[in-house]
Amino acid sequence: MRKSGTRMLCFILLAALLLSACTQNPDAARSPGNDAAASADDNLNPPGVLPIAKTKTTLKVMVKNSGKVDNFETNEFTKWLEEKTNIHIEWQVVQNANAKEKLNITLASGEYPEVFLGFNMGDSELSLYGHDGVFIPLNPLIDKYGVETKKMFQAVPTVKDLITNNEGSIYSLPVVNECYHCWQSSKMWINKAWLDKLGLAMPTTTEEFEQVLKAFKEKDPNGNGKADEIPLVGATNSNSTLDEFLMQSFVESDKGLMFVKDGKVNLAYTQPGWKDGLNYLHKLYTEGLIAPQTLTQDRTQLKKIGDNPIAIAGAIPAQNPTIFATNWKDYVSVPPLKGPTGIQSSKYWPYSVTNGNYVITSKAKSAALAFRLADFLYSEEATYRALLGVPDKDWKVADKTTLGINGKPALYDVLTTFGATQNEHWAQIGPSVRTNEWRLGQSADLNNPLEVFLYNQTKNNYTPYAMDMKKNVPPLALSIGQTEEIASLAKTIDDYRRETFARMVIGDLQIDKEWDNYLATLDKMKIKRYLQIYQEAYDTKYKK
C-alpha cells in the first residue's frame, strides 16, 4: 500500500508540474495534431517563393466538376501546378448533378476533405460552418501569406467587403470575374436560322414571342418533314430556368428574385406581376410550346437536345449558347421582351464575385499550405493556364498590332473554343481573378469569336434595358443569428416556391384559384420574417 500510495503521489506531482509548464509555455501543450501542423508549416518556403512546399506534399481536395474537365488528376494544368508548387492534389470528384447532396452528406459525416473547391457555397453556409469551426477563418492567412490575394484586393476593391461576413471573418476565397456579359446573364437565345427560314422578325413583346414559338412548332423549320421541333426548352440550373428571362417582362427583380422600392426590400414572387407571368407561361405550356422536361432536367440533358444532329430546339434560356450547343453560331440573343404592362427589363448584377469557391477546413494538415495554393491561383501565370490552357496550343500572347475587344492593344488570343470537355485547364473552376481589362483584352482578331459575340450581344441587346442598380438587393453581410435564421427559413420557402411554380405552369394547380392560398402558405412559412431579416441587413449597410 505504501508503494502504491507513493506512486500515486508522484503521478499527481508530475501532472501538476506538467500543467504548470504548459501554462507558462503554451507551445509545450501542443497536441500531436498541432505538432504535425507546425511540422507541415516548416516545410513551406517564404511567402511568394516557389515552390510553395520544400518537399512534395499531398493536399486532399473535393471538387465539383461541371462536366467540362475530363480528368482532374491527369489534367495539364494540375500537372503544371504540381511542378510549380510541389503540392500533389488527391482529388475527390463530385459531379454537378448531385454535388449539393454530396456536400451536405460529407459535412454531416465529419469526414470532409482539407479543401472544398468549386462548390460556391452561400454566405449563410460559410458563416454557419465557420462559426462551428468546420471552416477556418482566412484573415490571418491573408495577412501573413496573401501575396497575390492582396494584389487582387487592390485590383478589384469591392471584393474584400463582399467576402467578409458581418463579424469580420473571411471563410473562403472567391472567383473574381468582372465579366461584362455575365453581369446580365439572364438571356434568351433563339435559332436565327429558323427565324430566317420562316421569314420571321425577332420578337419584341411577349405576345410576339408566343407567335414565333407557334411557328417553330407548326412550320417545320428544321426541314426534316417531322414534327420534332421543341419551341422552348430550358433546365433547372441557374440562368436556364423559365423565370430567369421571361418573368422579367412581368415584374422586375434581381438575381435573388428581390427588388428595392422606396427603400423597402420586396420579393418578386409575391407580386401581382408574378401571377400574370405564371398565367403567360401556363398558356405557352398548354399550347405545347414549352418542353415538359424544362422543369426537371439539368444542363447535361439540355446539352443533348442542343447537340441533336438535326436542330430541334428553337429558344433556350442560358447565360451563353455554349451551355446548350456545341454548334452555337445558329443562335442569337432575344432582347428583353416588353410585357403586357410595358415592363421591358434585363437583370443587372455587376457584383464580380462568386464566393464560397475555395474553402479550407479544420482537417487541413497545414492551413498555410492550403491557402498558399489558392493564393498562387490568383497570379497572372496561373490565371492564364487555369482559364485558357496550354500556351501556344490553347492560347498565345497577342501580336503587338492586334486590338482587343475593348479597342486597346490585345493581351492574348484564344485558339480553342470554351465549353467542350477537355483536359488542358480547369474550365473556370477554382479561384481566379479576371478584371474587366483582362477579359476585354482578348484579341478581337479572332480564331474564336465567342467572347466578342457575347460582348456585342450584351452591349446591343441587354445593356439598354438594364434594371436600375438602385433596385437591386446587393450581397449583404448577415450576423450569425440572422444567418442561422435565414438558413432555416430559406430552404422551406425556396422549395415551396419552385414546386408551386412548376405545378402552376403545367396546370397541376390553377393559378387564379390557388394564388391566395399560395400567399397564405408563404405567410405560414414566415416570409415576413424572411423579408425583415434582409431589410435589417440592407438598412445596416445603406442607412448608416
For the cut 70, the answer to whether the pLDDT of residue 36 exceeds it is: no
Cross-strand bridge partners of residue 58: 88
pLDDT at 20 over 70: no
For residues 87 and 374, the answer to whether their CB atoms sit within 8 Å is: no
Could you list the residue range(s) of the whole structural domain that residue 18 is in? 14-40
Same domain, 104 and 221: no
Residue 513: inside a domain, yes or no?
Answer: no
Predicted pLDDT of residue 52: 98
The residue ranking higher by pLDDT, 167 or 57, is: 57
Do the beta carbons of residue 236 and residue 227 sit within 8 Å?
no
Q: Mark which of 295, 319, 346 sits at the end of a domain.
A: 346
Task: Please tell me whether residues 24 and 48 are part of one structural domain.
Answer: no
pLDDT of residue 259: 98
Could you tell me if 470 and 260 are in contact, meaning their C-beta atoms sit under 8 angstroms apart? yes
The answer on pLDDT for 258 being more than 60 is yes
Distances (CA, A) of 389 to 2, 66, 397, 455: 76, 17, 13, 22
Q: What is the mean pLDDT of residues 18-33?
A: 37
CA–CA gap between residue 267 and residue 526 (Å, rounded):
13
Residues 342, 388: one domain? no
- Please give the pLDDT value at position 339: 98
Give the tens place of pLDDT for each residue, 292-309: 999 999 999 999 999 999
- Residue 273 maps to which CATH number? 3.40.190.10
The b-or-e profile of 236-261 (16+ CB within 10 A means b, else e) is bbebbbbbbbbbbbbbbbbbbbbbbe
Which of 346, 370, 404 is at the close of a domain? Answer: 346
- pLDDT for 358 beyond 60: yes
Q: Is residue 407 part of a domain?
A: yes
Report H helices in 345-404.
367-377, 380-388
| Segment 97-122 mean pLDDT | 95
In a domain? residue 503: no
Question: Considering the domain boundaries, does residue 399 fall inside one?
Answer: yes
Closest to 406 measured CA to CA, from 353, 448, 459: 459
Is 359 contained in some domain?
yes
Q: How many helices (H) and strands (E) does the chain have?
A: 20, 14
- Note whether 245 and 382 are same-domain residues: no
And the C-alpha cell for 256? 435573388
Beta carbons within 10 angstroms of residue 528's beta carbon: 9
pLDDT at 122: 87
User: How far is 508 from 387, CA to CA, in rounded Å?
Assistant: 44
In a domain, 494, yes or no: no
The whole-number average pLDDT for the span 386-411 is 94
52 and 177 part of one domain: yes
Grid cell in block for residue 220: 417545320
Pick from 35-39, 375-379, 455-459: least confident = 35-39
Cβ–Cβ < 8 Å for 373, 409 = no
pLDDT of residue 37: 60
| Mean pLDDT, rounded, of the chain | 91
Give dist(CA 129, CA 127) in Å, integer.
6
- On whether both 213 and 275 belong to a single domain, the answer is yes
Q: Sheet holding 353-360: strands in order across?
A: 87-95, 57-65, 115-117, 353-360, 173-177, 432-434
Question: Mean of the pLDDT values across residues 84-92?
Answer: 98
306 vs 234, 255, 323, CA distance in Å?
10, 25, 9
pLDDT in tens, 192-245: 999 999 999 999 999 999 999 999 999 999 999 999 999 999 999 989 999 999
pTM: 0.77
Residue 456 lies in a domain: no
Quote the pLDDT of residue 18: 33
Rounded average pLDDT over 175-184 = 94
Q: Which of 124-133, 273-282, 447-456 has the highest mean pLDDT?
A: 273-282
Beta strand segments in 335-490, E? 353-360, 395-397, 412-414, 432-434
Indicate if 309 and 401 belong to the same structural domain. no
The structural domain count of the chain equals: 3
What's the pLDDT at 41? 84
pLDDT confidence of 264, banded at 50, 70, 90? very high
| pLDDT reported for residue 10 | 38
Q: Are 418 and 450 spatial neighbours (Cβ–Cβ below 8 Å)?
A: yes
Is residue 417 a contact partner of residue 425, using CB atoms and an 8 Å limit? no
Give pLDDT tens digits for 480-512: 888 889 988 999 999 999 999 999 999 999 999
Q: Which helix (H) or strand (E) holds 409?
A: none
pLDDT for the residue 446: 64
Percent of the chain having pLDDT more than 90?
81
Q: Is residue 431 part of a domain?
A: yes
Final residue belonging to a domain, choices 346, 363, 391: 346
One domain for residues 207 and 191: yes
Whether 339 and 217 map to the same domain: the answer is yes
Average pLDDT over residues 241-255: 97
Same-domain pairing of 59 and 167? yes
Same domain as 333, residue 397:
no
**Angle, vertex CA 354, rays to CA 487 and CA 495, nearest 5:** 35
Residue 14 has pLDDT above 60, yes or no: no
**Same structural domain, 131 and 145:** yes
Quote the CA–CA distance of 269 and 258 in Å, as a whole number: 8
pLDDT of residue 199: 98
**Beta-strand relationship, 395-397 and 412-414:** antiparallel
